[in-house]
């Protein structure tokens, strides 16, 4: 299986998708030998959560400590200094800032140590275990500067609130990516969900778990999922009761019929409505309403107790039972009749439905690299020089087209929001090239300068000063 370099594969993606400049850092190192290589480990991050950490490091006076990183490096050679030219392999959404402007030079002589720090900040948009590479050039003062990349492991834990996950999130074209939906719905609570997927390459889906997508071309793809979760609530109301027949009599006059509605759930009685009237039996049917509909509790049985008031005075109360019926709150019919002996009545129920919606939106990213040109990308990046940096506006750019190739080339200036500010086509180029840029019209700040040769892109972070 072909191995590809993270240095080329993710080629300063942190710069392309970073939206805020990190704060300055202050070196804070424990006691250790002066001639050593040391880097703090990178604390774990959480996907889609703000992150800011300071990584301290020490660079050596000789090549001896570097042998542990690269066994091909001979030991015992004095090093006149180091240049740190960048950081690669950070997830999308992350940025960095060293304690010195890039290329950061560390050339102190003993007893001064070559100490530095870098702030990693931003909001990581990808979850994975990343190999972050600090790219340095070691200088002997005799030979040309030699690359000596220093790898670090950076773990970004997945966002537990995300609506889906995908694997893999990076690789060589053509890259097949699988998607797993993690939106949870509970049918027991009358929940359902609809889905809308946009795979960032012109394809879409409305499936709960869409099929794998193959990305044929290199690039960075934003995959979005919108899940709309509906929760349906059903409500039942008691709208009215009509007594159509009753045998209640009052020896002293017309019967005074009244009723009480009670609901029983888990042994608890609740009076939910009632009414009273003075009416002769000859005027039946007798309709009872309650001012407003009475909400009924699902799973509850309700009793309707019909009585007649035989009281002679308030001091001598007397109640005559006319009948007792019951019904379930979940009765499907909206109008139904109940009887108890001579008592006949009609119950009117009404229904209502409330649907609420909750939207879960998730965006994940896939980086697809043209791995057949990884080595060439590394060559282009190594030749891509921008100086002076920082600059007050006038920049000199040097680069080299690999081999004998003649390729269409261009330069782009992009701000930290990814907006293109300048596009300079350079036409067909071959071999070593130089170009001057006057950027004095742009405000002071951090920018990305993109060099494109054919279908290969590399970046350098630049700083413009007033």
Residues 281 and 382 in one domain: no
How far lies 233's CA from each of 65, 74, 184, 195, 292, in Å?
68, 74, 18, 21, 20
Residues 6+ apart with CB under 8 A from 90: 10, 13, 14, 96, 120, 124, 130, 132, 154
Per residue of the chain (466 residues), give pLDDT as tens. 233 333 333 333 333 344 458 999 999 999 999 999 898 989 999 999 999 999 999 999 998 888 887 787 788 889 999 888 888 888 888 999 999 988 889 999 989 999 999 999 999 999 989 988 888 888 887 777 777 778 889 999 999 889 999 999 888 888 999 999 999 999 888 999 999 999 999 999 999 999 999 999 888 899 999 999 999 999 999 988 999 888 776 666 666 777 888 876 533 333 333 344 444 455 678 888 777 888 898 888 899 988 877 666 556 557 788 899 999 988 889 999 999 998 999 999 999 999 999 999 999 999 888 765 567 777 888 899 999 988 999 999 999 988 777 888 999 998 877 788 999 999 988 889 999 999 999 998 888 898 988 877 788 888 898 8
Residue 213 three-state SS: strand
Residues 300 and 404 in one domain: no
pLDDT score for 75? 86
**Domain span at 433:** 373-466
How far is it, in rounded angstroms, from Cα 273 to Cα 39?
75
Residues 398 and 307 in one domain: no
Q: How many domains does the chain have?
A: 4
How far is it, in rounded angstroms, from Cα 248 to Cα 257?
8
The domain boundary, picked from 296, 318, 353, lies at 353
Q: Extract the runs of DSSP E, i.e. beta strands, from 246-342.
A: 257-265, 268-276, 286-288, 294-296, 301-309, 319-328, 335-340
pLDDT score for 310? 67
* Buried-state track 403-432, b at ≥16 Cβ within 10 A, e below 16: eeeebebebbbbebeeeeeeeeebeebeee
Residues 210 and 262 in one domain: no
User: Under a CB-based contact definition with an 8 Å cutoff, are residues 209 and 180 in contact?
Assistant: yes
Residues 141 and 279 in one domain: no
DSSP-assigned letter for residue 16: H
Residues 223 and 311 in one domain: no
CATH code of 326's domain: 2.60.40.150
The domain boundary, picked from 131, 159, 187, lies at 159
Residues 254 and 338 in one domain: yes
Residues 6+ apart with CB under 8 A from 263: 269, 270, 272, 296, 297, 300, 301, 302, 329
Here the tokens at position 54 are 């300071």
| Burial class of 29 by CB neighbour count within 10 A (0 to 12, 13 to 18, 19+) | middle
pLDDT score for 314? 56
Nearest to 426 by CA among 446, 440, 442, 406: 406
Residues 6 and 129 in one domain: yes
Residues 269 and 219 in one domain: no
Residues 14 and 91 in one domain: yes
The domain boundary, picked from 132, 159, 186, lies at 159
How far lies 326's CA from each of 136, 160, 305, in Å?
85, 49, 9
Residues 395 and 334 in one domain: no
Residues 75 and 150 in one domain: yes
CATH code of 451's domain: 2.60.40.2550
């Amino acid at each position: 299986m072909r191995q590809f370099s993270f240095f080329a594969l993710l080629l300063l993606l942190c710069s392309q998708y970073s939206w805020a400049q990190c704060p300055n850092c202050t070196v804070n190192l424990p006691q250790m030998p002066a001639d050593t290589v040391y880097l703090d480990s990178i604390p774990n991050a959480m996907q889609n959560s703000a992150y800011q950490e300071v990584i301290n490091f020490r660079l050596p006076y000789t090549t001896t400590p570097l042998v542990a990183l690269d066994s091909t490096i001979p030991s015992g050679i004095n090093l006149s200094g180091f240049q740190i030219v960048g950081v690669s392999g950070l997830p999308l959404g992350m940025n960095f800032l060293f304690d010195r402007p890039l290329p950061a030079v560390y050339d102190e002589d003993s007893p001064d140590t070559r100490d530095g720090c870098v702030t990693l900040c931003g909001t990581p948009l990808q979850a994975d275990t990343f190999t972050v590479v600090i790219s340095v050039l070691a200088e002997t003062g005799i030979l040309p500067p030699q690359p000596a990349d220093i790898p670090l492991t950076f773990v970004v834990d997945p966002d537990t609130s995300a609506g889906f996950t995908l694997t893999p999130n990076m690789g060589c074209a053509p890259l097949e990516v699988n998607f797993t939906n993690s939106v949870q719905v509970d049918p027991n609570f009358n929940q359902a969900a609809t889905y809308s997927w946009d795979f960032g390459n012109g394809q879409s889906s409305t499936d709960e778990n869409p099929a794998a997508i193959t990305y044929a071309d290199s690039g960075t793809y934003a995959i979005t999922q919108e899940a709309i979760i509906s929760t349906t609530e059903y409500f039942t109301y008691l709208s009215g009761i009509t007594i159509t027949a009753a045998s209640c009599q009052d020896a002293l006059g017309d019967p005074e019929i009244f009723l009480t509605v009670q609901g029983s759930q888990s042994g608890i009685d609740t009076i939910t409505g009632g009414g009273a009237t003075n009416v002769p039996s000859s005027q039946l049917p007798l309709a009872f309403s309650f001012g407003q509909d009475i909400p009924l509790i699902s799973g509850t049985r309700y009793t309707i107790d019909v009585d007649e008031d035989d009281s002679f005075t308030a001091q001598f109360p007397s109640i005559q039972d006319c009948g007792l019926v019951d019904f379930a709150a979940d009765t499907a019919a909206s109008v139904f009749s109940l009887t108890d002996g001579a008592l006949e009545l009609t119950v009117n129920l009404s229904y209502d439905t409330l649907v609420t919606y909750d939207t879960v939106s998730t965006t994940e990213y896939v980086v697809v690299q043209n791995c057949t040109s990884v080595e060439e990308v590394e060559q282009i990046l190594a030749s891509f020089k921008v100086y002076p940096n920082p600059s007050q506006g006038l920049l000199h750019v040097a680069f080299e087209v690999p081999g004998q190739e003649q390729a269409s080339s261009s330069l782009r200036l992009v701000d930290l929001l990814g907006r293109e500010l300048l596009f300079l086509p350079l036409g067909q180029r071959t071999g070593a090239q130089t170009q001057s840029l006057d950027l004095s019209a742009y405000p002071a700040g951090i920018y990305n300068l993109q060099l494109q040769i054919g279908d290969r892109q590399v970046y350098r972070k630049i700083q413009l000063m007033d």
